[in-house]
Structure 1
């Protein structure tokens, strides 16, 4: 093997090299920042800064019962990343309304500390993932650190609260059916955030939350009790291909269809469990159909999470289809149609979500 052939054929472009190094520095800072964002959330540093700022590092440490020296360094890192504002004259830090909406408002549909919790925790499986690259074997969702499940709930839950009813209203006839009293199956419900939201909104309907992960179902039951909807919500430990029940007016899957090992088989089972007028609502990460159109900051995030969690989960199951989190509308349509559905359309979208409606 020679070492000089490539250098002779492809001389290094210094400008492109500098750009790539700068990109790497940004990514290195972001990697460390993820853990610091989780700490800022868990210790209420963002919340107190929003409520009482502008504050010095001493004042913030006193109000949060934390060490000033750590808080001082944390504040400087946050300011360098644009996550907090710094005024050097009084040596104080604060949050803008936009920063507070992203970092301190836990009901905001763009609340990000949950996402940082998710990605920071997902990286803990790196040794197993490295081995999976060699063997091609999968890694089940249940094999991840517990914070992955909590981070997923805290990341997606607020957006479901903000948009879910709009998405259901965009489906053909489903909102009216549920208001009159229908049946809903929320498949892949996790900790039950959308399950509970639907139970709160449709008082005459019965909702069933379904997930194969028993620990998540246990948390979902607790969440339903706390929300006061336990009398209208049932939870079942089952896979998406084998859950119980029929005559559902609505089956929902939130950011989990691409995780299924056998999405065609799942589609066929959903088809069997719907009423003739029912609908299957599939919420997936926003993606274009062509790879080149997904090479964006959001696409990078989605492809990366898909590499760490979604695709390994699919490969760990029967069939191991490996649809991936950036499958796009065309590929999703093909899989759903292969499972027996005759009608498929994009019912709604946000900058980060595609909402599909499938009808028998």
Structure 2
């Protein structure tokens, strides 16, 4: 067989870029944790010495870090002045923790996958799962930090606001469930923005609920917010006007059962709000960088999480609208609509009729 060496060399170059990105991810995470990006934000050109003095760090390490950042295009370098600048357009991605485009926490998720590599490799052999709580704790912190800005920007305004009459109902006073709430960022947000409504956050991971309660105290949340340890098919409360599944339904072993339980817990005119990773309905529609990221997370986290539970449906993080609508339809929802989308999410609303 003859190999086209030009193609081989081009692909090798692609892999070199991927390896460089993987190694540089550590540098990016350090840039965040050491305050380097924030120190450069809106500050104009800076030398390595100026940046070191501003951050209280050693100049020699700052200089080497800046070289990595310039080589990767994260900062720009001026050879004449020997200075570096963080472009304004990069600030929402690297320095603004409230921006929906703040992506550095994804590197914490990536770190957790390396730390769990042996577990992930093992399930390829056994076909078994890895429970959410069995992952390294950096997964939990990274996931919350990654999702929280998007929820803060879109959840109570654009996503809930896209469902006719729902925002007004929640402002007047309603009952909300946040199933799979994790560390409670979305629950705290809804309790704050809809003070006349009562929010119940449910998660089967005890440590997450404990952290959610602490976060609620830190946020000085009101008495309209409650957290409970409960699986998606076992919480006993009913009479909900809104039940949210935010970036979690595909992780569940029995998503049909979880959706069916939600239908039974809803008021007759209630709604399901389903937020899932952006995806097309086929692999060919998902050949892009965002799906590449999601397929990796799905292989290491989402699919093993589902396979650690009963039924083991393993939807995966790239199920797509059609499959999600089928799941909701099987659970008894007669009306499913896509009400919003972002480059990273699809948002569906489901009603019984």
Q: Same fold judged by TM-score > 0.5?
A: yes
Deviation at 1:51, TM superposition (A): 4.9
- Which residues of structure 1 form unaligned runs of 5+? 1-6
State whether structure 2 residue 168 is matched by structure 1 residue 176: yes
- Which residues of structure 2 form unaligned runs of 5+? none
Match of 2:204 in 1: 212
Q: Deviations over 1:217-236 (max 9, x none)?
A: 12211221222214111001
Deviation at 1:100, TM superposition (A): 1.1
Match of 2:228 in 1: 236
Match of 1:78 in 2: 69
> What is the rounded CA distance, in whole Å, between the counterparts of 1:52 and 1:174 in structure 2?
43
> What is the rounded CA distance, in whole Å, between the counterparts of 2:118 and 2:58 in structure 1?
33
> What is the rounded CA distance, in whole Å, between the counterparts of 1:180 and 1:252 in structure 2?
18
Match of 1:46 in 2: 37
> What is the rounded CA distance, in whole Å, between the counterparts of 2:286 and 2:182 in structure 1?
27
> What is the rounded CA distance, in whole Å, between the counterparts of 2:180 and 2:20 in structure 1?
33
Match of 1:166 in 2: 158
Match of 2:8 in 1: 17
Q: Deviations over 1:126-180 (max 9, x none)?
A: 0111111001110111111111111111111101111112100112332121111
> What is the rounded CA distance, in whole Å, between the counterparts of 2:69 and 2:196 in structure 1?
47
> What is the rounded CA distance, in whole Å, between the counterparts of 1:254 and 1:36 in structure 2?
30
Match of 2:26 in 1: 35
State whether structure 2 residue 268 is matched by structure 1 residue 276: yes
Do the aligned partners of 2:130 and 2:305 also contact (CA within 8 Å) in 1? yes
Do the aligned partners of 1:250 and 1:278 also contact (CA within 8 Å) in 2? yes
Do the aligned partners of 1:34 and 1:120 also contact (CA within 8 Å) in 2? no
Match of 2:116 in 1: 125
Q: Secondary structure of 1:279's match?
A: strand
Q: Secondary structure of 1:357's match?
A: strand
User: What TM-score does the superposition give when structure 1 sets the normalisation length?
Assistant: 0.95
> What is the rounded CA distance, in whole Å, between the counterparts of 2:233 and 2:8 in structure 1?
48
Q: Secondary structure of 2:23's match?
A: helix
Equivalent in 186, 191, 205 of residue 199 of structure 1: 191
Equivalent in 327, 335, 338 of residue 330 of structure 2: 338
> What is the rounded CA distance, in whole Å, between the counterparts of 1:16 and 1:338 in structure 2?
47
Equivalent in 252, 260, 277 of residue 285 of structure 1: 277
Equivalent in 244, 248, 261 of residue 252 of structure 1: 244
> What is the rounded CA distance, in whole Å, between the counterparts of 1:85 and 1:189 in structure 2?
40
> What is the rounded CA distance, in whole Å, between the counterparts of 1:39 and 1:212 in structure 2?
32
Match of 1:114 in 2: 105
What is the 5 A alignment of 1:53-64? 53-64=44-55
Do the aligned partners of 1:281 and 1:355 also contact (CA within 8 Å) in 2? yes
> What is the rounded CA distance, in whole Å, between the counterparts of 1:175 and 1:199 in structure 2?
13
Q: Deviations over 1:10-55 (max 9, x none)?
A: x212232122111101110111122221111111011111154422
> What is the rounded CA distance, in whole Å, between the counterparts of 1:190 and 1:242 in structure 2?
16
What is the 5 A alignment of 1:89-100? 89-100=80-91
User: What TM-score does the superposition give when structure 2 sets the normalisation length?
Assistant: 0.97
State whether structure 2 residue 347 is matched by structure 1 residue 347: no
Deviation at 1:66, TM superposition (A): 2.0
> What is the rounded CA distance, in whole Å, between the counterparts of 2:137 and 2:209 in structure 1?
13
Equivalent in 327, 334, 339 of residue 319 of structure 2: 327
Q: Higher mean Cα deviation, 30-39 or 47-56?
A: 47-56
Deviation at 1:59, TM superposition (A): 2.0
Q: Deviations over 1:233-255 (max 9, x none)?
A: 10011111112310110011111
- CA RMSD after TM alignment: 1.2
Q: Secondary structure of 2:45's match?
A: coil
> What is the rounded CA distance, in whole Å, between the counterparts of 1:55 and 1:48 in structure 2?
10
Match of 2:301 in 1: 309
Equivalent in 129, 142, 148 of residue 133 of structure 2: 142
Do the aligned partners of 2:44 and 2:86 also contact (CA within 8 Å) in 1? yes
Do the aligned partners of 1:221 and 1:230 also contact (CA within 8 Å) in 2? no
Do the aligned partners of 2:42 and 2:88 also contact (CA within 8 Å) in 1? no
